[in-house]
Amino acid sequence: MALLEVNDLCIQFGGLRAVDDFNLNIEQGELYGLIGPNGAGKTTVFNLLTGVYRPTEGQILLDGKNITGHKTAEINRDGIARTFQNIRLFSKMSVLDNVKVALQDRYHYNTLTGILHLGSYKKLEKEMDAEAMEILSVFGMDKDAELLSSNLPYGQQRKLEIARAMATKPKLLLLDEPAAGMNPNETAELMDTISLIRDKYKMTILLIEHDMKLVSGICEKLTVLNFGRVLAQGNTKDVLSDPEVIKAYLGDE
């Protein structure tokens, strides 16, 4: 059984079917790409998978569980985490605290314990610090733990957003244009980081990306969207050499 199974997914805004008859299967541990021209419906698919939008039709199964139409927080607890095209960090919080925010669902203490800083509070805070620092070390950011997130270079802010998503221990990690705005060196470093995450944590990853060097370099399979419908699907090499895919990106001669 696929980790993620999407069947006949559709969403309609008025008379526009932004995503129509979308099907997708992603196996445990795969690094999968979702690509297509601007306006093809890629981010809309992410919004459907994460409960931002409720589908008009279709079904979403995560590890065999039907999560169709669930709220975003519920879907995150079920095991899907994501990043965004536009970075959404807590700019006035430290790098460490940005990651610790994502740990709150797994570390609990009551209000009185928190106010009085009792022993159980200190113990949990120490455990959270240790786990957050371990995640940051994977991204080479443990040395920046006390910096304000807003003071990080752009590429590091991108990494921090991925680290925060990782802290929820998702079954499926969705990355929405993770290389957007990065220079070639930052992109190459990001490719290594994404591959490391998959291998170290056996993480299943679905990413949207326009950088074809990144896509061809790390994605094992691809789905191509065009005008909300699947244009091509399969192994990365075969999909990228498909004449219809080339036409969708480059147009007719």
- Domains, the chain: 1-79+170-253 (3.40.50.300), 89-163 (no CATH)
More confident residue, 90 or 107: 90
* Burial class of residue 42, CB neighbours in 10 A (0-12, 13-18, 19+): buried
Amino acid making up residue 120? S
Amino acid making up residue 162? I
Q: pLDDT averaged over the chain? A: 90
- Would you list the DSSP string of 119-167? HHHHHHHHHHHHHHHHHHHHTT-GGGTTSBGGGS-HHHHHHHHHHHHHT
Q: What are phi and psi of 148, to 5 degrees?
A: -65, 140
Q: What is the H or E stretch that residue 46 is in? A: helix 42-49
Both tokens of 88, joined, read 């959404």
Look at residue 141 in the predicted model and tell me its pLDDT.
93
pTM value is: 0.89
Render pLDDT for 143-172 as a digit per residue (tens, 0 to 9): 999 999 999 998 899 999 999 999 999 999
Handedness of CA 170, 171, 175, 179 (dihedral sign): positive
Render pLDDT for 39-86 as a digit per residue (tens, 0 to 9): 899 999 999 999 999 999 999 999 999 999 999 999 999 999 999 888
Render pLDDT for 205-247 as a digit per residue (tens, 0 to 9): 999 999 999 999 999 999 999 999 999 999 999 999 999 998 8
What percent of the chain has pLDDT above 90? Answer: 71
Alpha-carbon distance of 5 to 24, in angstroms, equals: 6
Distances (CA, A) of 190 to 68, 73, 106, 165: 31, 27, 28, 15
More confident residue, 120 or 112: 120
Alpha-carbon distance of 145 to 50, in angstroms, equals: 28
CA nearest 46: which of 174, 173, 162? 174
